[in-house]
Amino acid sequence: MYEVFLVETPMGDPYVNMAVDEFCLLQASKSGLVFLRLYTWSVPTLSLGYFQKAGEEVDLGFLQERGMVLVRRLTGGRAVLHDDELTYSFAAPVSHPAFGGDLRATYLRLAGALAASLEFLGIRVEVCRGGGGGKSFLCFDAPSRYEITWRGKKLIGSAQVRKRGAYLQHGSIPLTMDRALLSGVVKGAGPAEALLGQAVALREIDPALNLSALREALVRGFTASLGISLRKFDLFAHEGEIRCLAQKYRSREWNFKERKVGDLDERL
C-alpha cells in the first residue's frame, strides 16, 4: 500500500488554488511525493487552459460585471467555470511504480478512481473512449477521451500537465452548472439551452447530494481504487513558497500573454 498526502484547504482564492496545485507538482518532481487535493473556490472563476487566448475567447466585460475572476491554469484544455463544485487534483512522479506512466495510463487510472468515487454515491458513470472534445472554447461542451460521462453527457472535466519528471492532473466536478453564465462569459459557447444536452451536474442526477458527501466519496473512492493510505499534508510550513507562486497567477502577464503550442512540457 502506497502513502499519498491528502491536501485539504478552505474555500480558496482562485490564484492560491492554482498556486497550491503547482506546489504539489513541484514537490512531486523534487521529492517524489504523491498528492491528492480536494478544494473549492471562494468566487466564481473562469480558468483558461494554458494555450487559450483570453482576449479572444472571453467576454471580459461580462466577466467583470458579474464579479467573476479569470485565471490561467498550468494545464492545457479549454475554459472551465468553477463555482458550485468540488475540484480534485493529483500529482505524482511520472516514474512512480504505482501512479506513473504515460498520459493514457495516468488518465485511465484516475478516471477509474473518479468512477469508483461516484459509485459510492450510487451514480454509475462511463469513461469516454472516443472523441477529442468539442469545437468551442468551453471544456464542458463535449467529453474528451478518458473523461467521465453520465448517459453520454460530460460530468467531470479534467486536464493534465507533465513537467520535470512529474505530472499534475486536476478536474472540475460540478454540483450545479450555471449554463447561462457559461454561455455569456465564453465567446462561441452557444446558447445556454444547447449545453443541456452536452453536460450534466451532479445535483441534476441526485438533487439531495451535498459537498460533504461528495468529498467523503472521493476520499473513499481514491483509497479503494488506488490501494492507498492517506496522510494529511500541512501546507503552513510552505506558506511563503505558495504565496510567491500565487503572485504569478495574479499577474496580467501570466493570464493574458499568448502562448504557442510546442513547448517542452506536455499539456492536455
Share of the chain above pLDDT 70, in %: 88
Q: How crowded is residue 20: how many other Cβ atoms within 10 Å of its Cβ? A: 23
| CATH code at 2-267 | 3.30.930.10
**For residue 145, pLDDT beyond 80:** no
Question: What pLDDT, on a 0 to 100 scale, did the predictor assign at position 191?
Answer: 65
Q: Name the band, by pLDDT with cuts 50, 70 and 90, for residue 233.
A: very high
Q: Which of 24, 128, 139, 244 is catalytic?
A: 139
Q: Helices 239-250 and 14-31 sit at what angle, rounded to 10 degrees?
A: 120
pTM of this structure: 0.92
What is the SS3 string spanning 197-262? CCECCHHHHCCCCCHHHHHHHHHHHHHHHHCEEEEECCCHHHHHHHHHHHHHHHCHHHHHCCCCCC
Mean pLDDT estimate for the chain? 90
Domain extents in the chain: 2-267
139 is catalytic: yes
Instruction: Please tell me which residue, 134 or 78, carries the higher pLDDT value.
Output: 78
pLDDT computed for residue 134 by the predictor: 47
- Cα separation, 179 vs 192, whole angstroms: 5
CB 6 within 8 Å of CB 230? yes
Q: Is the pLDDT of residue 108 over 70?
A: yes
If pLDDT is split at 50, 70 and 90, which confidence band does 11 have?
Answer: confident
Residue 261 predicted with pLDDT over 80 = no
